Amino acid sequence: MKIFGLVVSILLLLIAGCNTVRDEMAPEINTEIDSEGFYTERAGDFVLKYKVEDSVNLHCRLTGAGTGWISVGFAPSAQMKDANFIIGYYDNSTGFISDEFGVTSYSHEPDINLGGTSDVTLLSAYETDGKTSLEFKIPLDSGDTKDRVLSLGTTYPVIFAAGDADDFVTIHSQYDFGAILIRN
């Protein structure tokens, strides 16, 4: 009987442990806010600062390691699929940016090649200390089916990647995962 009680206790502990694991899988949202009102999401070498402006736009400052392209993909459904990608790089004193969409789990295309529209405004691009930074704005709801709607009060997965080349097509040398909460 004692052994039966022990087995039941172990089973209960295992079930409680499983719940803990499931809880831990909910994305952790960073509550850090800077003096300009940007929230911060960090993943590996990537830092995304973001804030909602006028309940209409998401203003972003993205930094990643390396001097090739860097990117954030908003709200993928699986791997790279369905993500609203903003990809950019800095070359020859000029910033380049592209609004793209995750067509399959491992590919993306510019929105404008998919019948969509380009819905990103590049505000600045630069490289310092071997890192690339992009500052840009995207609409929370562009009306383009090749973007993802971002709603206030909702948490979304984001993916980050960086490649060694100054272009929009060379495969990444690193990627990472994060989550953002769209909030005022």
Exactly one of 97, 135, 172, 182 binds ligand HEM (CB under 6 A); that residue is 172
User: Which single residue brings its beta carbon nearest to ligand HEM?
Assistant: 161
Exactly one of 58, 60, 161, 182 binds ligand HEM (CB under 6 A); that residue is 161
Can you tell me the distance from the alpha carbon of 53 to that of 56, in angstroms, rounded to the nearest whole number? Answer: 6
Can you tell me the distance from the alpha carbon of 73 to that of 116, in angstroms, rounded to the nearest whole number? Answer: 16
- Determine, following the binding rule CB under 6 A, whether residue 159 of this chain makes contact with ligand HEM: yes
Pairing of strands 174-181, 155-162: antiparallel
CA angle 5, 8, 9 (to 5 degrees): 85
Q: Which residues contact 166 (CB under 8 A, 6 or more apart)?
A: 67, 68, 69, 89, 90, 91, 96
- Determine, following the binding rule CB under 6 A, whether residue 160 of this chain makes contact with ligand HEM: yes
Rule CB under 6 A: which of 68-87 touch ligand HEM? Answer: 71-73, 79-80, 85, 87
- Determine, following the binding rule CB under 6 A, whether residue 48 of this chain makes contact with ligand HEM: no
Q: Can you give the binding site for ligand HEM, defined by CB under 6 A?
A: 71-73, 79-80, 85, 87, 106, 108, 159-161, 163, 169, 171-172, 175
